[in-house]
Amino acid sequence: MLNIYITCIAAIIGGHPCFSYDIVPERGPCRSVMNTSSTKRSCYYACYHDNNRRERGQYIDGTKCWHPTLRGQIGSCMRGNCILPEGGEPHINNTLPEEACDDVYRGHGFASRCQRTCKYRGRYKRVPYAGGTPCIPINKEGQRSGNAGICMLGICRPYDELETRYPQIEKKVFLLKYQKCPDKDHFGKNVLWSCYYYCKQNGSWFFGYYKSNKNSACELFQPDHRLGWCCRGKCMRQANCGRVEGSVTGPA
């Protein structure tokens, strides 16, 4: 493999910081190697055409490149050198640097999936979100397919599947920052299995409570099969959270 040793000359750079380094040219088919829309590993290329004709050269000035000595920094090609302008700007053309490719969820509302695809050093990779990230399961049609939960090994596990093993799971899932749905009346004749409901705002999923009144009958999951009423996400034996009719028990 041919390595090209480049010495940076301050007069060429025009005051920008520069270094001496070994360069390994970009290699491959010319139709992909000479495409300057992606960030390059070096400012030189060695490629071949469909007729096996070989071509070598350097990318035009301004082509985005990974800096060879400042790991993770994106610079711009200038006369064969990958440079960073003074002041730490990652690009001469002010293009923003790539997004951090880590396991941190930075979206609004519950994560609608527990993995993401990001670009790292010019390559796309799939990264699972950190275990415990609040999420909501979504089907292929973009509709909610279960209760909110947490990410585990790249999969969204609803809280009601985990609460037997983790009694405090609701405190991990239903955080205050995700409570953006207004309290809601329940007019159906069915008994609620959960006192939470979900809504979508600006493309993101949040939760709210069914109102704490006698319309919101819920399943207590007790051995005597007695029902209760919702109270700010919890199912309790007294209607209205016990404030108005404190002596009234749940419906039989």
Residues contacting residue 206 through CB under 8 Å, at least 6 positions apart: 109, 110, 178, 179, 180, 181, 198, 199, 200
pTM, to two decimals = 0.56
For residue 89, what pLDDT is reported? 40
Alpha helices in the chain (DSSP H): 10-13, 30-33, 169-173
For residue 131, what pLDDT is reported? 92
Q: Are residues 170 and 184 both part of a single domain? A: no
Q: Is residue 69 part of a domain?
A: yes
Q: Is residue 109 part of a domain?
A: no
| Whole-angstrom distance, CA of residue 122 vs CA of residue 178 | 34
Q: Are residues 12 and 47 both part of a single domain? A: yes
Q: Is residue 251 part of a domain?
A: no
**pLDDT above 80: residue 243:** no
pLDDT tens readout for residues 212-224: 888 899 988 777 7
Q: Is residue 92 part of a domain?
A: no
Q: Are residues 149 and 204 both part of a single domain? A: no
Q: Are residues 120 and 60 both part of a single domain? A: no
Quickly state the pLDDT bin for 152 (edges 50, 70, 90): very high
| Whole-angstrom distance, CA of residue 25 vs CA of residue 7 | 16
Q: Is residue 103 part of a domain?
A: no
- The residue among 160 and 7 whose pLDDT is bigger is 160
Q: Is residue 228 part of a domain?
A: yes
Boundary residue ending a domain (62, 83, 104): 83
Domain count, the chain: 3
**pLDDT above 70: residue 193:** yes
Cβ proximity of 107 and 133 under 8 Å: no
**pLDDT above 50: residue 14:** no
Q: Are residues 12 and 73 both part of a single domain? A: yes
Boundary residue ending a domain (155, 175, 195): 175
| Whole-angstrom distance, CA of residue 80 vs CA of residue 7 | 10
**Residue 98 in tokens:** 């790539």
Q: Are residues 66 and 119 both part of a single domain? A: no
Percent of the chain with pLDDT over 70: 81
| Whole-angstrom distance, CA of residue 178 vs CA of residue 174 | 7
Alpha helices in 65-218 (DSSP H): 169-173
Distances (CA, A) of 173 to 15, 48, 133, 149, 166: 52, 54, 8, 6, 12
pLDDT tens readout for residues 64-109: 888 777 777 888 887 788 877 544 443 334 444 556 788 899 999 9
Q: Are residues 228 and 184 both part of a single domain? A: yes
pLDDT (mean) for 152-181: 93
pLDDT tens readout for residues 103-146: 899 999 999 999 998 887 778 888 999 999 999 999 988 899 99
Quickly state the pLDDT bin for 22 (edges 50, 70, 90): low
Tell me the residue range of the domain where 17 lies.
4-83
Q: Is residue 96 part of a domain?
A: no
What mean pLDDT, rounded, does the chain reach?
80
For residue 105, what pLDDT is reported? 94
Q: Are residues 146 and 208 both part of a single domain? A: no
For residue 94, what pLDDT is reported? 41
- The residue among 13 and 111 whose pLDDT is bigger is 111
Tell me phi and psi for residue 11, to 5 degrees. -65, -30
Q: Are residues 167 and 188 both part of a single domain? A: no
